[in-house]
Amino acid sequence: MEISKEKVVSITYELRQDNENGELVEKVTVDQPLTFIYGIGGMLPKFEENLDGKKTGESFNFGLNSEEAYGPVVENAVVDVPIDVFKVDGKIDDNMLKTGNMIPMMDNSGNRLNGKVIEIKESAITMDFNHPMAGKDLYFSGKVTEVREATPDELSHGHVHGKDNCENGDCDDQGENGCNC
């Protein structure tokens, strides 16, 4: 079966920064492959485009420039957040607020985002909300390990169902077959 819209795809890969000889950023192995529904908007469009039509067992090698990947670094995504935002029950967790830590947060509209602690000031924390790979060219090399039809439940939920539960952990109501969707 070949990769096309609404197929479940599993791949292994190495992600390197810049080119095939660049710094290794991530390695995804056969014991925990990246598994996703192709063509529903969950992956970078150019990433999917480079996998289109590939079959189980086929290898791939391709680069994405920063514009095709996570875009440029946006200067106004680095902001000072009042220190009071980080208080829980009137206290600040000093282990959480350390330079370099990634902290899950929510914007005023309820959208989830991750921010990296850049600087700790007396009344504010400087946070960088750019994607960690923003402004970087990416190079992927890997192999397609499986292509299958997505189930109607997977398509309606918008994610792949794993052996134990939903693979992305965003589910909440206990459903059939152990899926918490």
Is residue 131 packed enough to be buried (19+ CB in 10 Å), middle (13-18) or exposed (0-12)? Answer: middle
Determine the structural domain holding residue 81 and report its residue range.
Answer: 75-128
The residue type found at 67 is: E
What DSSP string runs through 79-103?
A: EEEEGGGGEETTEE-TTTS-TT-EE
Confidence of residue 101 (pLDDT cuts 50, 70, 90): very high
Decide if 180 is inside a domain. Answer: no
Q: What is the CATH number of the domain that holds 34?
A: 3.10.50.40
What is the rounded end-to-end Cα distance, in angstroms, of the chain? 27
Judge if 84 and 40 occupy the same domain. no
Decide if 156 is inside a domain. Answer: no
Confidence of residue 181 (pLDDT cuts 50, 70, 90): low
Decide if 27 is inside a domain. Answer: yes
Decide: 63 and 138 in contact? Cβ < 8 Å: yes
Judge if 14 and 102 occupy the same domain. no
Judge if 17 and 63 occupy the same domain. yes
Judge if 12 and 65 occupy the same domain. yes
Q: 125 pLDDT exceeds 50?
A: yes
Q: What is the CATH number of the domain that holds 103?
A: 2.40.10.330
How high does pLDDT run on average in the chain? 90
pLDDT of residue 107: 84
Judge if 64 and 93 occupy the same domain. no
